Structure 1
Amino acid sequence: MNIEFYREYCIKKPGVTESFPFDNNTLVFKVMNKMFALCDVDLFTGVNLKCDPERAIQLREQYDAIIPGYHMNKTHWNTVQMDETVPDKLFLELIDHSYELIVESLPKKAREELAELS
């Protein structure tokens, strides 16, 4: 997986924007102004993704390359290290999961606006 594919995969989702709100290196993807994925664009050594707390623990136990979210709430975020030990299919599924968690947490009006974009 490379950063170009990762970026294209994230940005094609409905309602997604990308920005550098923290510094010039940290690329953040948001849906309806709420973060669901972020990474360092220069290094691309790990991607922070939101995750259901129970699933987060299971993933950390199963994969050495999935750790508690770096600089994030460790209960709700994982960092997926880009060391090629996490299958690409799972990585993409985790991006989808993160996006869906954020969408589910949006107010009804925002979800309706997002549905219109789909």
Structure 2
Amino acid sequence: MNIEEFREYCIAKKGVTEGFPFDEQTLVFKVMGKMFALCGLERVPAQVNLKCDPERAIELRETYDGVIAGWHMSKKHWNTVFLDNIDPQLTRELIDHSYELVVAKFTKKLRTALEAL
């Protein structure tokens, strides 16, 4: 998976917006205003940060060379994923997991708004 495929997958999810809140090279994806993924557009090799359940984060880091503790993020809740080093299907699963973790923390009002989209 490359950065453009990553972007297309993220932006297709319900309630997702993209932007550059930090700088001109860091693309951030938010669901209803809450961040679930980001990527450095000029990073080589291509890498992305995704939210992850802490226990699963450790397991992924121990299993895959392409997954490390989140770079410039909470090491407990975020992983950095090197897109060239893991299967694209696993990347999609990790994007889904990140998105779902964020949505699970929504207030009832925010969840209702998302469902109405």
Category of TM-score, reference length = shorter chain: over 0.9
Identity %: 63
Instruction: Report the alpha carbon displacement of residue 41 of structure 1 after superposing the two structures with TM.
Output: 1.2
**Aligned amino acid, residue 54 of structure 2:** P
Matched residue, 1:74: 75
Normalization by structure 1: what TM-score?
A: 0.95
- Structure 1 distance, partners of 2:107, 2:26, is 27
The alignment yields a C-alpha RMSD, in angstroms, of 0.9
Instruction: Report the alpha carbon displacement of residue 85 of structure 1 after superposing the two structures with TM.
Output: 2.4
- Structure 2 distance, partners of 1:14, 1:103, is 11
Question: Which 5+ residue runs of structure 2 have no aligned equivalent?
Answer: none
Instruction: Report the alpha carbon displacement of residue 99 of structure 1 after superposing the two structures with TM.
Output: 0.3
Q: Note the alpha carbon deviations across 1:17-76, whole angstroms, 9 max, x for none.
A: 000000000000000111000011123621000000000000000001100000000000
Which residues of 2 match residues 4-15 of structure 1 at below 5 A?
4-15=4-15
**Aligned amino acid, residue 52 of structure 1:** D
**Aligned amino acid, residue 15 of structure 1:** G
Aligned length: 116
Matched residue, 1:25: 25
- Structure 2 distance, partners of 1:56, 1:43, is 22
* 1:79 partner SS: strand
- Structure 2 distance, partners of 1:72, 1:114, is 26
Normalization by structure 2: what TM-score?
A: 0.96
